[in-house]
Structure 1
Amino acid sequence: MVDSSIKLVAYHHLPLSCFEWEGLRQVFDPLEAALGMKMNRPNAKGHINQAVAKMIPMMASGMNNRLLCLMIDSATRLNHHVLGIGVQYTVDGKFVTRTIDLASSWEFIQQYVEAFKPCFICTKKLQEAHVPLEDFYMEWLMTICSVRKLGSNPFARDLTEALTNRLSKLHDSMALYLDPRFNYPNSNIFTNEERCQIQRFIIRTWDDFITEMFGGSLNGSNISSTTFQQQLKTLEAEQRQNTNYDVWEHWMNRKTSHPEL
């Protein structure tokens, strides 16, 4: 009986008020008396919520690690505008469609725009011109900060986590290490292991790639490997610079004092 009641609402789209209809009561009342149970609007809603709670982990497991296509459809029912949010993916070559939520249109749109607006602004900035990796990192970092401030927004936590996970893949970048906006005393952008890896990479790049193309070697040049590494280490002690700092000009001014870097 519970299963049939859930299907009346979930499959056949009857309103919860259907359990108060006289015709349906003529069918349900004898069954309820025989089974010793009561099916009304509050009970039906509770059973539906329990069924949904069991289905969520099952649906999540089926969608895990799959490429998903997000679908948003609008509808009007009983003078209410709603959004149907679904996903589509493939299993064994066949399309599977799942409805994952229904939401009030205006509330959903407001929350969605609020959460993804910083991402849109960041994307537009990155499309304007060629953006060096370190500037890309800075814009992405500022986007994370903007989204993180939207604590009550239902999209904020997951979006912040996704943006942060993508950002972590850039931590071992040589460009960031040479940028005083990120590499400064007590900076937590890099771990000690990442710093050592970047230093080894820079030295190897100089010795194995640049000298191979243009001749000579690091050991035979005017600067020793140890001195070169010391120059790299001193970058970690330099003063932190603001977000608008011109890194290109910073290194152009050092082309005589730090030609290798």
Structure 2
Amino acid sequence: MTFAETQRSRSEERRISPVFWVLLAILGTSGWAVWSGYGNAGVGVFLFVVAGWVVSLCLHEYAHARTAMYGGDITIGAKGYLTLNPFKYTNAVFSFVLPMIFVILGGIGLPGGAVYIERHRIRGRLKHSLISAAGPLVNVLCAVLLLIPVGAGWLDDPAVHASYEGHDLNVSPLAAALGFLAFLQLSAALLNLLPVPGLDGYGIVEPWLSPKTRRAVEPFAPYGLMAVFVVLWQSEVNRWFFDLVYRAMDLFGVDGAYAALGRYLFSFWQH
């Protein structure tokens, strides 16, 4: 392979996928529709949140892949992980299908894992920890960017008012959509940072554990996420977890009611 061919191949490996551009187009168009009051607000919020959530999942996986590439895994590009194409990830069910089902049915951000990283190519425990941390940190960054305009009051005194059970509220439906999407980002980040096998939180601490401990924990990795949701199903734990998410939103001056209203508008088929 010539130098020019090598450069072209690398460029294609990092070219943003048309699928991701379509997702961004849906996100921008639905956001404009919600802000301007065009069409049904519930459908607009649904499309905005779904598109925004899938975009954030792509960015989450991209962060893992990009950090792994810098860490030493030179196979990342050839696998298509740098194109932001959701169809290139190795486990679309766990990274996209299940998270979407949980968002639609339960209104909770489910962390996923899809990029296959050749860990033997990466040297140094810190690099392994940073690769695992990169994904949840993207969710935290997305939450911050979503909460800032709401908390700063940039969407106050809206021209279009959200409607709740037939009553108009002095709240922009876009602010509610941003609040709900930020809520999903925070819940996904907090869940994913738990030091439970199978989640990124465990991936952060795993390199620092003894080989004996890692071998003992390894068989439980496929069941870690399931165990988390079984525990989260308990009312006291559930209440504690979501109180923590709302407190994180409060740090930006955003009341949890925005997320609740956003979820109400998102679930337009229920009312």
**TM-score of the aligned structures, taking structure 1 as reference length:** 0.25
Whose RCO is larger (CA < 8 A, sep 6+)? 2
Structure whose residues are more often helix by fraction: 2
Of structures 1 and 2, the larger Rg is shown by 1
**TM-score of the aligned structures, taking structure 2 as reference length:** 0.25
Structure whose residues are more often strand by fraction: 1
